Chains A and B, each alone.
Chain A
């Protein structure tokens, strides 16, 4: 509210549309947050009880080597200069080398990210295509069995440890029933058949026309994606329900019904259209939250993506890899929030 008021005042003075001012204010606050994000990750890097020089040169290095690396890392400079170096490196995408893989962290991330994007995209597709209808039905038939079902589903979604669900899913659907592929992205004899183009196996296999590989990849992704989608399904259906309830109590709904439109037409054409913008923001937020869920889900399913990379880096005590991952997720989070905020203001006239 306050932002809009100030923006309106400023806009009146300068004759610019208010959303330009909104965009400026939101954008500048995002930049400040991003700087804070960098500072926080920098601070995390400095808290480490391990001496970063010894981590590189090893325990046996003599004093002159130690001093050289100490200077190379810029540790002899004042803290704010070090922070300057850190900022320059991070903003230019130079995350240093990952000690546990021996590669550049940026190369590693390019390699592992597509696997996670593939998993998260399928998961959000499942989450939306189940969560939104459930939320709408629960709101329309408020207090009915379907509403209770939605509530129970939501509670379970918020309370179930995904890693446990993943393990139990593996036992049931892979070991006992044999319906899905096991851990990993492919069975051993399908690995390296298709060329890597996007890094997303389903896409690569489809481009290469290797449908057998595609099927195998699909049988591997379906279980982790469903389990990953569970929490977001709960989140999406709960919010869809409350958005929808808010719309259904409005008078324009009654007016449309009185006009003689059928119940479902009103819901589809009037109520749903009004919650669409809110839903887009919720879904994009859910998508970023999936990245968090991916950390444990990927560990359970031995999925060679971002989450597993982060955990391996953590277990190896590799700060370069960990900080890069934390920073990237933080940046993604801010960016998506920013885009949602702007989208909201542009698409929804009521916020102006």
Chain B
């Protein structure tokens, strides 16, 4: 992001760093530019961002990066330790673990994206509705949120998976059901601060219906904190999804999901440790990257903490 902006200096640099912005577009572009600059100054956040970009590239170009097809079995080369031919070794069916980890990045990204896409709107709608309308609506919606919050996430996800049945689709639903409540809380708190502001009163005086105020004027104000929150939650989502896969309740073999790979690796643990080592390391690196990225994003968008 930043490199693209900085490489076109000259008129653009003047436009972006002007002390007085002449249009709303310029103002928001300037904010974005300074945000990116602050983000780029945070080395840990940049490391996180780079890892995530690499992960995205790996997921997109998986078939070209992986030296073997993900499900190609070769029983003559089973349980081989890491070598030049097989970077991470081979598993119990002779499949190349490196290739499977590479393909697994697609599943991990899919799960996190889907969970975010499902959970963020639910949380946003619940929170803003609750905060804007107040009264009984608020009491009821926040009670429901509290109930969901009163379980540790993995236990709640396990309960839902038990009810829905194992599988990756149900795992996504179950995880999403555990992710929305903190977002709803956050969105409600943000709504409460903007609800009584003058611009909302002005729009209301113009006769805008409540739903329009909530959707067009309250929700956008909550977006940045919701985005930070969900980015910070990504690490937790990945860990929960992997834990479900590991317990045999999420993605099912032969899918190269990292948690499920760990679960089979466990059976060959003492003889062939490398079966479990690399998928777990992949989970660690990605969730670490999300944590670093989320921390950096919070410092930029929400400087209250520092």
Chain A contacts to B: CB under 8 angstroms: 29, 32-33, 36-37, 39-41, 44-45, 47-49, 155-156, 158-161, 163-165, 167-168, 170-171, 175, 288-289, 291-292, 295-296, 299-300, 310-311, 313-315, 317, 319, 322-323, 325-326, 329-330, 333-334, 337
Contact = CB atoms under 8 A, between A and B. Distances in A.
A255 B147 CA distance: 45
Nearest to A167: B276
Nearest to B242: A161
B150 A337 contact: yes
Query: Which interface residue of B151, B249, B266, B270 has the most chain A CB atoms within 10 A?
Result: B151
The 10 closest A-B pairs by CB, nearest first: A164-B280, A36-B147, A292-B152, A47-B163, A159-B288, A159-B287, A326-B159, A44-B163, A171-B273, A322-B162
Contact of A317 (B162, B243, B292): B162
Interface in B151-167: 151-156, 158-165
Contact of A330 (B151, B247, B276, B288): B151
Given A36-B146, A170-B270, A292-B155, 20 more contacts: A49-B164, A155-B291, A159-B239, A159-B288, A163-B242, A163-B280, A164-B284, A167-B262, A167-B265, A167-B276, A175-B270, A288-B152, A289-B152, A295-B158, A296-B243, A299-B247, A310-B155, A314-B162, A314-B247, A329-B155
A45 B160 CA distance: 9
Contacts of B247: 295-296, 299, 311, 314-315
A37 B148 CA distance: 8
A168 B273 contact: yes
Size category of the B interface is: 35 or more
B288 A161 contact: no
Interface string B113-152: 0000000000000000000000000000001101110111
A326 B151 contact: yes
A33 B161 contact: no
B248 interface: yes
A160 B154 CA distance: 15
B143 A156 contact: no
Contacts of A296: 154, 243, 246-247
B151 A156 contact: no
Contacts of B239: 159, 161
A168 B276 contact: yes
A48 B154 contact: no
A152 B297 CA distance: 18
Interface string B230-246: 00000100010011001
A67 B198 CA distance: 64
Contacts of A160: 284, 287
Contacts of A32: 143
A288 B154 CA distance: 12
Q: SS class of chain B's interface: helix, strand, loop or mixed?
A: helix
B300 interface: no
A77 B262 CA distance: 45
B269 interface: yes
A296 B276 CA distance: 15
A333 B150 contact: yes
Contacts of A311: 158, 247
Contacts of A159: 235, 239, 284, 287-288, 290-291
6 contacts: A37-B150, A170-B269, A296-B154, A310-B158, A313-B162, A329-B155
A48 to B, nearest CB: 5
A287 to B, nearest CB: 11
Contact of A329 (B151, B161, B235, B284): B151
B144 A36 contact: yes
Given A161-B243, A164-B276, A168-B277, A326 B150 contact: no
B86 to A, nearest CB: 19
A295 B154 contact: yes
Contacts of A168: 273, 276-277, 280
Contacts of B155: 291-292, 295, 310, 325-326, 329-330
A47 B150 contact: no
A295 B246 CA distance: 11
B283 interface: yes
B158 A322 contact: yes
Contact of B288 (A41, A156, A175): A156
Contacts of A37: 147, 150-151
A47 B279 CA distance: 33
B266 A326 contact: no
A47 B164 contact: yes
Contact of A292 (B147, B153, B242): B153
Contacts of B146: 29, 33, 36
B234 to A, nearest CB: 11
Interface in B250-298: 259, 262, 265-266, 269-270, 273, 276-277, 279-281, 283-284, 287-288, 290-292
A44 B243 CA distance: 20
A45 B269 contact: no
A41 B283 contact: no
Contacts of B148: 40
Query: Which interface residue of B155, B281, B288 has the most chain A CB atoms within 10 A?
Result: B155
